[in-house]
């Protein structure tokens, strides 16, 4: 190919860049398994993040049906006990290694993904089963209130209620909180909420597939929308994007520190050690990078892992080395910081 005649970016006076169409190959740094998975996408339908015209009850069924085969594989690979109960008045899944033997002094709180409107309990199980089994930990996954029935701060209030109840049995420094996608954003909200409401800070938090600012912030939603397609890019005409949260943040100030602490250094300074995981093809790449930078600026120990060629919440994919490496990093992070 004669690159001298190839289309080039056009830089406009307002700072916008008009990007020419181009073919993006599979990364030569990706594992063979990840490359094979990427090739499979040619035969897979695009994931409809907004849910189309499906009502929310139907959408929740769709997500759980989609997750069911993965959960079945995880239950085969990892022996865990799953108990449905309540803690602090909130429904939870209490996931522990089968046969006992779990760490008696440490506990993890999982906040499932699902755009603040779906994901219970299919996504919750995908996020909790391998962590409980591989870490020998008790993982408490929270059925926090979601849209369209509820609005922020309902979810983080529920997380705080579960956390406060667990303080009766665990030291705060031995409680970790983590989540993917909406659950990652909710984890950041919890790290801001707890000390602001008279509760001791957790020992460590994991923000995966998200950041402490909205998912649409930064440039990655534009890039990811065209190279990954898990979520559509922002509309080219400048109109408002589809609200995949079904109104969860309606009426919330766009810079409210209880919703988006990443904008506020004073709030970020209260965070415990934080692990952030994203991917180069993920729409959450910009929020993750920005949140990590803000934490470092605030003097907080923050670790950022960016999976090469990986998309949104790639740590769910334990069948590829990149996904297993991410899970191993999560386990090591909590082992070190919940001492």
Tens-of-pLDDT digits for all 339 residues of the chain?
455 567 899 999 999 999 999 999 999 999 999 999 999 988 876 656 656 667 999 999 999 999 999 999 999 999 999 999 999 999 999 999 998 889 999 999 999 999 999 999 999 999 999 999 999 999 999 999 999 999 999 999 999 999 999 999 999 999 999 999 999 999 999 999 999 999 999 999 999 999 999 999 999 999 999 999 888 899 888 888 889 999 999 999 999 999 999 999 999 999 999 999 999 999 999 999 999 999 999 999 999 999 999 999 999 999 999 999 999 999 999 999 998
Q: Give pLDDT, residue 1.
A: 46
Instruction: Detail the DSSP E strand segments found in the chain.
Output: 10-11, 17-18, 80-87, 90-97, 107-111, 138-142, 175-180, 204-208, 274-279, 302-307
Instruction: Give the C-alpha separation, 323 to 37, whole Å.
Output: 12
Q: Give pLDDT, residue 165.
A: 98
Q: Give pLDDT, residue 2.
A: 54
CB 226 within 8 A of CB 196: no
Task: Convert 183-220 to b/e letters by CB count within 10 Å (16 or more is b).
Answer: bbbbbbbbbbbbbeeeeebbbbbbbbbbbbbbbbbbeb
What length is written for the chain? 339
CB 65 within 8 A of CB 121: no
**336, containing H or E segment:** helix 321-337
Asked, as a colleague might, if the bond just before 311 is cis with ω within 30 of 0, I would say no
Phi first, then psi: give them for residue 244, nearest 5 degrees: -70, -10
Instruction: Give the C-alpha separation, 209 to 207, whole Å.
Output: 7
Helix 122-135 and helix 56-77, axial crossing angle in degrees, nearest 10: 20
Spell out the domains of the chain, with CATH numbers in brackets: 50-337 (3.40.50.1820)
For the entire predicted model, the pTM comes to 0.96
Instruction: Give the C-alpha separation, 9 to 7, whole Å.
Output: 7
Q: Give pLDDT, residue 204.
A: 98
CB 261 within 8 A of CB 268: yes
Which DSSP symbol is given to 27?
P
Task: Tell me how many degrees the CA angle 52-57-62 measures, rounded to the nearest 5.
Answer: 60
């Amino acid at each position: 190919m004669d690159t001298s005649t190839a289309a080039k970016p056009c830089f406009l006076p307002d700072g916008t860049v008009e990007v020419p169409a181009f073919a993006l190959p599979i990364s030569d740094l990706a594992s063979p398994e990840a490359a094979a998975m990427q090739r499979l996408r040619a035969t897979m339908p695009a994931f409809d993040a907004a849910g189309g015209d499906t009502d929310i009850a139907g959408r929740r069924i769709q997500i759980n049906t989609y997750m069911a085969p993965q959960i079945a594989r995880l239950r085969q690979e990892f022996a865990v006990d799953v108990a449905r109960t309540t803690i602090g008045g909130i429904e939870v899944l209490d996931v522990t290694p089968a046969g006992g033997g779990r760490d008696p002094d440490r506990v993890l709180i999982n906040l499932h993904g699902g755009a603040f409107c779906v994901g219970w309990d299919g996504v919750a199980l995908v996020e909790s089963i391998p962590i409980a089994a591989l870490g020998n930990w008790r993982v408490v996954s929270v059925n926090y209130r979601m849209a369209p029935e509820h609005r922020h701060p309902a979810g983080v209030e529920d997380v705080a209620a579960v956390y406060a109840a667990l303080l009766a049995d665990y030291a705060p420094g031995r409680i970790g909180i983590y989540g993917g996608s909406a659950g990652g954003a909710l984890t950041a909200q919890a790290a801001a909420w707890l000390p602001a409401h008279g509760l001791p800070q957790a020992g460590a938090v994991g923000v995966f597939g998200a950041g402490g600012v909205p998912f649409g912030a930064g440039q990655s939603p534009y890039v990811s929308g065209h190279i990954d397609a898990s979520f559509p890019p922002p509309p080219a005409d400048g109109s408002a994007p589809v609200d995949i949260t079904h109104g969860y943040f309606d009426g919330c100030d766009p810079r409210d520190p209880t919703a988006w602490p990443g904008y506020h250094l004073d709030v970020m300074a209260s965070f415990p050690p934080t692990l952030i995981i994203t991917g180069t093809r993920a729409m959450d790449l910009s929020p993750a990078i920005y949140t990590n930078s803000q934490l470092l600026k605030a003097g907080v120990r923050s670790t950022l892992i960016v999976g090469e060629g990986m998309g949104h919440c790639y740590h769910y994919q334990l069948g590829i080395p990149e996904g297993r490496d991410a899970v191993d990093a999560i386990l090591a992070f909590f082992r070190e910081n919940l001492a």
